[in-house]
Amino acid sequence: MADKKISALTAATTPLAGTEVLPIVQSGATVKVSIADVTAGRSVSASALTASTGNLTFSSTAQRITGDCSNATAANRLAVQTTTANSNTNFHIIPNGTGTAAGVNVETDSSLANGQVCQMVVIKDTEARVISTLRGTGAYVPLSLFAGGSARLTCGITGNITAAGVYAATVGATNRDVYVDDTGLLGYVSSVRASKTNISELSDTSWVYNLRPVSFNYRKRNADGAYTDEAEAPLEFGLIAEEVEAVNPELVFYDQTENGPELRGVSYSKLIVPLLAEVKALSARIAALESK
């Protein structure tokens, strides 16, 4: 074939298959090399790398995208950034490649506009783990897990947890009581002998007759959580914590505040066993009277 100028050559079919051969000069001799071997095993340096379509894929699981994340202002930090100012950035870490990142908006740049949200989301399979979240003014905002386009589980900045849909959900037959301890851990309370010490039978539960059962309506709360004068509709039955504290302080619970312990409520579950003891005592007295 006669020599041709590069400009006169027919355009190649792209993308290249990797098996095409190029001539190169190596150690003073002209040799051939396949396209796939031109950069094999070599670091590639570029001021910018753009993928118009598709994904940036590594053939080896040992390969990583790395950057200096120890300094948020460092020039060589690892960042994901959009070309449009103040827009959310979709940044997803999917460890095994089988997860879905649809609908997850993430900002990783610390210089966020007011109202913009910074998050780090790790997605494995279909599980999204939100590591942290920050609003543009520097204030932390609630973390939410979304399903079906709506927030289903939200953790507020004070640790309050909201699970939408739980209130209207019917559970199965294998239920147990759930408790929360003073660290925020949810779980059940064990009743086996091995979990208890100082076991003794109740000898006097007559104090239960000093408790005053009442009916009442809860007050509604405003947006700040403060009680209002407006009543909730359902009629409730229960006890007044201050009155119970005066009868038996073991039946009430407190919150630890900067001003010390503050009374919060009644542990109604602790009333079950004293009432059971009174039922047994009354049953014995009735049996004794009937036997005369």
Residue 34 domain flag: no
Q: Which domain holds residue 227?
A: 201-290
Are 210 and 260 in the same domain?
yes
Q: Is the separation of the CB atoms in 72 and 86 below 8 Å?
A: no
Pairing of strands 21-26, 150-155: unpaired
pLDDT at 292: 83
DSSP 8-state symbol, 106: B
d(CA 106, CA 134): 10
Question: Where does a domain end: 169, 193, 227?
Answer: 169
pLDDT of residue 18: 84
So what's the pLDDT on residue 100?
47
- CA 94 – CA 125 distance, rounded (Å): 8
Q: Are residues 224 and 148 in the same domain?
A: no
Q: What is the pLDDT of residue 66?
A: 63
pLDDT of residue 144: 74
pLDDT at 149: 66
DSSP states of 134-180 as a string? EETTS----EEEEETTEEEEEE-TTS-EEETTSTTPPP-S-----EE
Residue 215: its pLDDT value, please? 98
What residues of the chain score a pLDDT lower than 70?
A: 1, 51-141, 146, 148-149
